Amino acid sequence: MKKSLSILSAALLAAASVIPSAASAADDEVYGTMQIPYADFYAAELNNSVAVDAVSSATANKWNMTDTGSVQEDGSWKSGGLCAGTYNDGAGKILGVVYPVCISQADLDSLTDKYSFTALDTKPAAYKPVTVEGGKASFGKLVDTNGEDALGGEVKVSTRSNYGDYQISVSEIPQNADIYGVIVKTSEGTSYGMRALENIWRNGAISWGAGVKEKESHGNVLSSEHYKSSQGQTITEVTFITLNGYSTVSGQNVYLPVKVADSLSVENGKAGSGSTTFDNSVFPADYAQSGSVSEGFTVSGNTISYTNAKPGSYTLTVSDSNGKYSDVSGSFQLTTSDIPVKYADGKLVAADGFTADDAANFLKNITSVKVGDNTYNTGRRGVTVIDAQTGEIKMDAKSGDANVFDGSGKYSLSVTATGYSEPYNFEIDTTPAATTSTTSKSTVTTTAKTTAKTTAKTTTSKTDSPKTGDTSAAVPVMALAAAGVCAIAFSKRRK
């Protein structure tokens, strides 16, 4: 293995000078780095008539992550970033890679465009040989001075990806090295060059568009011309290009199913028992359809039937029983106007007439909670205002450093859940004075102070005391009291 060479190669690039010094006395060769466009970088590496294009990206925090990785003082490897070793136009387009080259001094001098040549003072572990004809540079197949590394592991493929029509995962990749390029080869004899960001991601994940999916999840348009012919082919090996040369996982047999569509259009339906339909016109005549959703659902032709289905989001997946074509999926919702929860004792519980399962289904489908004027989304990066398991209102919830509940004690909440056509609206009052629960259908108010006063009166009054508001009993009592006063006054006068 050539892992130690990654340290040397990175050091060589960092120590580049502007004066060529490693010249061969025989042929006047010099070593340096050049900014090589992707099309030129891959030209001698591939068996593919369509050139590799530059990469356009609107995600500014990624395309400019172009540092070169290095070994830290503690011996750990620090990657240069997603776009390590690449160069760009400064406006979001990744143009190619900065890679070591070997060129004669005479050819270098004859070049009008020197590709930002920067000399190295030592021969690199791997480099591109450069020849010049008619003032134009040509970049040859990479020279790996230490021989190609063999990688173990396997390659797996998925036709469902946010980043393209195909995504492969390679279980073993070069360690302690930035990846400058990847070549995917097939049994049909075609090879495909992969580029930073659009194709090459972290941890051996590689994706590409083959003409079906037009945009990836960030909205960037996929350039698919170079990759269209990959549909229906079989991957045999994947080669990584680093500053150390080639590292290849071979002996693979990974079929790329023909893509027929990126997704299916499925009609929404009503929760409970019923049916809905989907558009199956996208399938070729030889696509042997086999559809599935989940337990309680059956698929026949373009119809989905279901029994006792709860509100929520579902996914239909249609597969080709013959294995030629890719699976195609589509999402749909089953909805209801019922609200199966109510607010009680600091949490959402099953409303009258609904089961605990009904309430649990609502809780797990919550997508956002509005508190006052602020809406908080749930999910991996969201805010947990209501516990999806217990229904508890999290009064200590935070959004960043800010408290969701500002301490005022009285709050209006609106809960939105997938599959429920209306939000659940209610109010809570956590002040010592009152606890209020107001739903969209009914209002229940309990005043703590009033209850306390009533209890105090009951405790200090005699059992034969008249009830408040009973005027027939109050009059005799007042008369007796007046008579008592008169008797005392009369007694005093007699003395």
Confidence tier at 436 by pLDDT (50, 70, 90) = very low
pLDDT at 61 over 50: yes
Tell me, what's the pLDDT at 437?
A: 46
The pLDDT of residue 72 is 87
Look at 157-171, 199-213, 292-306, 435-449 and tell me which has the smallest mean pLDDT: 435-449
CB of 95 closer than 8 Å to CB of 104? no
Q: What whole-number distance in Å separates Cα of residue 152 and Cα of residue 162?
A: 27
Instruction: Identify the pLDDT of residue 341.
Output: 98
Helices and strands, counts by H and E, the chain: 7, 36
Residue 47 has pLDDT above 60, yes or no: yes
Q: Is the pLDDT of residue 460 over 60?
A: no
pLDDT at 27: 61
**Confidence bin at 220 (pLDDT 50/70/90):** confident
Decide: 82 and 216 in contact? Cβ < 8 Å.
no
- Could you tell me the pTM of the whole model? 0.76
Secondary structure (3-state) at 284: coil
Percentage of the residues of the chain whose pLDDT score is greater than 70: 81
CB burial readout 254-269, b (16+ within 10 A) else e:
bebbbbbbbebebeeb
Domains (range + CATH), the chain: 1-258 (no CATH), 269-335 (2.60.40), 341-450 (no CATH)
Percent of the chain with pLDDT over 90: 70
Residue 466 has pLDDT above 70, yes or no: no
Q: Work out the mean pLDDT of the chain and round it to a whole number.
A: 85
Q: Helix, strand or coil for residue 106?
A: helix
Asked whether residue 478 carries a pLDDT value surpassing 70, the answer given is no
Q: Is the pLDDT of residue 11 over 90?
A: no
pLDDT attached to residue 81:
83
Who wins on pLDDT, 184 or 484?
A: 184
Q: Residue 31: which of 9, 64, 53, 4 has the closest Cα?
A: 9
Pull the structure tokens for residue 369: 């909670």
Lowest mean pLDDT among 88-92, 403-407, 482-486: 482-486
On the question of pLDDT at 340 being above 50, the answer is yes
- Average pLDDT for residues 19-41, to the nearest whole number? 76
